[in-house]
Amino acid sequence: MNQDQIRPMSRHVGSEVHGLRLASASDSDIAGIKHLLAERGLVVFRDQDLSEEDHIAFARRIGPIVVNNYFPANGGHPEIAEVRKSETQQVNIGGGWHTDHSYDQVPAMGSILVARELPPSGGDTLFASMAAAYDSLSDAFKATLETLRAVHTADHIYGPDGFLSNSDQGADLKGRDLKTRAVHPLVIRHPDTGQKLLYVNSGFTTHIEGWTRDESLSLLNYLFSVGMREEFQCRLQWAPGTVAMWDNRSTWHYALNDYHGHRRLMHRITIDGVPIH
């Protein structure tokens, strides 16, 4: 992989790599992909023809695979979670800004998503840079944030009373009885680059450790608004053969739900992470 193959998707996040076949990538290609992912947060490959076995084999070259506790598994391949919405469903998975697995004690490094079935239009995914969000803050505010930790959980999404569990996606989900709670710093360093990152998200961060929910909301809502600034984003338009990898520590993402009446099926493999601090 060389620099001529890489095109930035926006100023702060995302790069597309052209002319590389993931199923036959060399060891040096894999090393380059990992480096680019750490630097840009999102790496997109077009015109791939990955079988399910190829998807798993490529993922294992990136890192250990984590099996998702909630999403339906692909038949015959438990490593692959299906992110799907049928023609009759109104709710999609990931339809709000979030980062996957922040509710785990050791959050996942990232995910590798393969487009399998796409609507005729719509279904794009937005990504946002938490490095850019952090860098935009004042030095005094950064210093305050670095003294705080936040609580993350998925119970309000996937638990018995959770939003997705009680939506038209609920019948396909598993893990309703699981309990999740993790506490992470509001500001972390990327394990590979050392870059400081804002580490909260509106999907799974519920409150500041030691603060009430009401006390926490004003600060968290402000931080969410910073992360959502358009200048920190890029937009991924999916096409047949598109594969996307993202880093959960340094990005948020948002799956747009603008294709009612059409089916969308994505195959996701999640890659294990390391402790964050």
Active site residues: 98, 100, 253, 268
Distance of CA 148 to the CA centre of its chain: 23
> Left, alpha or beta for 256 (phi > 0: left; psi -120 to 50: alpha)?
beta
- H helical segments located in 150-271: 155-158, 213-227
Give the C-alpha separation, 39 to 66, whole Å: 23
What gap in Å lies between CA 98 and CA 105, rounded to an integer? 17
Q: Which two tokens stand for residue 31?
A: 């090393």
Which residues have C-beta within 8 Å of that of residue 67, sequence separation ≥ 6? Answer: 73, 78, 79, 81, 270
Give the residue from 203, 178, 226 showing the smallest Cα distance to 93: 203
Residue found under tokens 């994505």: 266
Strand partners, 45: 17, 243
- For 143-149, the CB contacts below 8 A with 24+ separation are 145/186, 145/187, 145/198, 145/223, 146/185, 146/186, 146/187, 148/185, 148/186, 148/208, 148/209, 149/183, 149/184, 149/185, 149/186, 149/208, 149/209
- Count of CB atoms situated within 10 Å of the CB of 195: 19
What DSSP state is assigned to residue 98? B
